[in-house]
Amino acid sequence: MRVLKGIWKWGLRLFVVLFIGQFIYIVLLKWVNPPVTFTQIGSMLAGRGCHSRNKSSADVSENARLAVIASEDQLFPDHNGFDWKSIQKAIEYNQKKPGRLRGASTISQQTAKNVFLWQGRSWFRKGLETYFTFMIERIWGKKRILEVYLNVAETGNGIFGIEQAAQTYFNKPAKNLTQYEAAAIAAILPNPLKLSVRPMSPYVASRARKIVQQMNFLKPDRDIQRIVQAD
């Protein structure tokens, strides 16, 4: 019994320390960029390398911020971190076609996963993703979430972030990206290891054009403007 009580007390202390630690880390990242992510570590271990340059929103084109919203999460300004309708549709689709999984992650969920967690589809990881999404929505806010997402998202083979992608694919800083260039980078986000901006496949080119159309449609929206405009 003494041994069990000792283990219980040790485990409880460890849990408290880890909980306080992760909370402090979440708060700190409201102002400080993540030094490294599990996805970046995985890329290095897989031999793909990790090339990344962090930039503030002021140093990133409005086109880039608008492009990822148009491509990945058009309800980003309106939801609380979860797009429940899309999640329900994805569940129904996956039940009908279990061999072809469809995701429904918002930008907030993707940011939580990229910054704090590892890649995978386990229920345990998904539960942690839900927790971290809830926390960053309330502590960081939409603008900071989008800023971090644009710095940590995988944008190619060993390439992370919009700045590194802009330099790699277009030899220019992210603040100078045109609509179509930003849309082309956003077009590969669903699968950056298989899709590429250069050379650009007909699929990516077609998807980029559709994203530009959605950007033009979303741009006048006031809620969108509050998020994509730099402070």
- 43-94 pLDDT tens trace: 888 888 888 888 888 889 999 999 999 999 999 998 888 776 655 544 443 4
CB atoms within 10 A of CB 222: 7
* CATH code of the domain containing 129: 1.10.3810.10
Residue 98, pLDDT > 50, answer no
Q: Which domain holds residue 3?
A: 1-32
Both 3 and 79 in one domain: the answer is: no
Both 23 and 90 in one domain: the answer is: no
Both 66 and 85 in one domain: the answer is: yes
What average pLDDT does the segment 170-177 reach? 94
Both 63 and 131 in one domain: the answer is: yes
If pLDDT is split at 50, 70 and 90, which confidence band does 106 have? very high
- The answer to whether the Cα torsion of 221, 223, 228, 229 is positive or negative is positive
Both 205 and 102 in one domain: the answer is: yes
- The answer to whether the Cα torsion of 30, 125, 105, 34 is positive or negative is positive
Instruction: Give the count of domains, the chain.
Output: 2
Both 168 and 58 in one domain: the answer is: yes
Both 102 and 4 in one domain: the answer is: no
Contact between residue 211 and residue 194 where contact means Cβ atoms under 8 Å apart = no
Both 9 and 99 in one domain: the answer is: no
pLDDT tens, position by position, 4-51: 666 777 777 777 888 888 899 999 999 999 988 888 988 888 888 888
Both 6 and 59 in one domain: the answer is: no
Both 201 and 87 in one domain: the answer is: yes
Strand partners, 160: 52, 154
Average pLDDT of every residue of the chain: 86
Contact between residue 37 and residue 132 where contact means Cβ atoms under 8 Å apart = no
